[in-house]
Structures are given as structure tokens and as C-alpha cells.
Amino acid sequence: MVNVTPDSFSDGGAFLEPDAARAHVDSLLAAGADVLDIGGESTRPGSTPVGADEQLRRIEPVVRHALARGAVVSIDTQDPLVAERMLGLGARYVNDVSCLADPDLASVTARHDATLILMHSRGSMSEMRGFSQYADDAYDDVVADVAREWSAARERARARGLAVERCFLDPGLGFAKNARHSLTLLARLSELTALGAPIVVGPSRKSFIAEVGSAAPGERLGGTIAACLHAASAGAAMLRVHDVFAVRQALALGRALGRPPEVTHA
């Protein structure tokens, strides 16, 4: 992932300058990333929304560079205008962390015959109270509730012309969920395959990992790898990670030992 932002939770500010972002693109491709997820708006709890013009100013030079390098590009945005512009340049995925708060995003994705990665969440990022802070009783059964709410969002996307096979499921670890909710979703990830959608999982450096041993975001690689190995074994089709080389190495060794299956790395 390429966060062209000043305030992302793990690497905010590291790739805000175009030269740094382009170099990061090159390093991720060299590490073996299959898809580059590029965004110009932080999705950390309490983050301030960023307008379309500013998102485009941040990401367009980076997207153009990635496409020139032959990369498959995903655009991390909730804004249909940003998606329209970047899909027009050649991006192939839209990564929507809002659970389709704006149905026009599905219309734009359908018009470009692209794929929408629809992440489960509740409410805006600015309304989230903090990392892994969410009421324990907010879900009756977090897996069943996420499946139902995500399915309703997919139906809204279908009503806007997006083919169901163009809608991927991200259960949204850490988004409107506490650590227990995220761990339960990960443990029972295989149950979500019944929805018939490719599953995308983004566990990288997230706060739920610290539930099993306090650690800052940059110290969560071990937990990230464990989560990725489990997700791949449980049926995930795509993993969204910061540490591409290390995760690919772990997955390759797992396959050499007979598991897990092949996945895409974004």
C-alpha cells in the first residue's frame, strides 16, 4: 500500500512527497506486490476528510508512475470524482472503506468495468473513537452482522449497475470494531466465503495485534504475518500489507509445506 498522506496510522508523512512515493512504488514492486493500493486520505480513527482536489493532487503523480511501471493499481478513496479520474487513467480497483456510503462510487466503478473492494464499516472515519475502540455489545454476532450489512451494501452496488462478481469483500478489521471483534472475524473468516465474493483482508500492523502483546505499529510484523497466514488458509484471495517481502516469504514457505494457497498481495 502507498499512503500519500501526512497522517496515516503507521507511515503517515513518509511518502507524502512525490519522489518518496514513487520510490516506495518501486520498492513494493521489487518486493513482489501484485496490486498497489494508493490513497491520498487517511482512514485512521478521527481523521479529517480530504477533498477530491487535494486527494488528486497527492496521488495522481504516483498513480501515473505506478501505471507507467506496469503495476495493477487500486485507488483507496470514498470519493466518486477521485475514482472516476484514476480509473480513467488505468486503475483497475476501487478500495472503498465506507461500505458504500456514496452509491455513486459503484456507478463509477461499473462504468469503467473495474472492481470495487467493499469494506465493512459503520460511519465515517472521523467518527471512530480510537484504535480498536468499539462497544463489545455493538454486534449480536460480529460475523453474521458483518455478512448481513456487507451484503446489503453489495445489493446497493448491484442496483447501480455493478456486476456482483466485480464486488470483493473486506470484513474491515479494526473499522468500527474492537480487538475482540477483529480477532473473531479473522478466526471465523472461512464462514464469509459463503457470500460468494473474493475476500480481501487487511491485518497489517493493526491495533488488534497488540491485544496479544503490546507493540507499536512498526513492531507488529510477527502478528501481521500470523494473521496473513491464517487468512490465506481460511480462503482470502487478497492481502493488503505494508511489509510485502516478509509476508510473501512467509506465504511461500507455507506453500512449500503444503499450505496456504496462493493469494494476491496489495
Q: CB count, 10 Å around CB of 122?
A: 18
Q: b/e string for 71-82 if b means 16 or more Cβ within 10 A?
A: bbbbbbbbbbbb
Torsion angle of the four alpha carbons 114, 110, 21, 71, in this order, in degrees rounded to the nearest 10: 10
Separation of alpha carbons 7 and 50, rounded Å:
11
209: nearest Cα among 233, 234, 243, 186: 186
Residue type at position 132: S
Residue 58, all three cell numbers: 497527492
Does residue 206 carry a catalytic annotation?
yes
- Angle at CA of residue 122, ends 116 and 124, nearest 5°: 85
- Residue 32 falls in which region: left (phi positive, over 0), alpha (psi -120 to 50) or beta: left
**Of the candidates 84, 77, 132, the residue with the CA atom closest to the CA atom of residue 100:** 77
Q: Which of 22, 206, 220, 248 is catalytic?
A: 206
The one catalytic residue in 154, 177, 240, 248 is: 240
Three cell numbers written together for 223: 502478528
8-state DSSP, 69: T
Q: Which residues pair with 199 in a beta bridge?
A: 169
CA distance 137 to 47: 25
Residue 240 is among the residues annotated as catalytic for this protein:
yes
The C-alpha cell of 178 is what? 474492537
The residues annotated with a catalytic role in the active site are: 206, 240
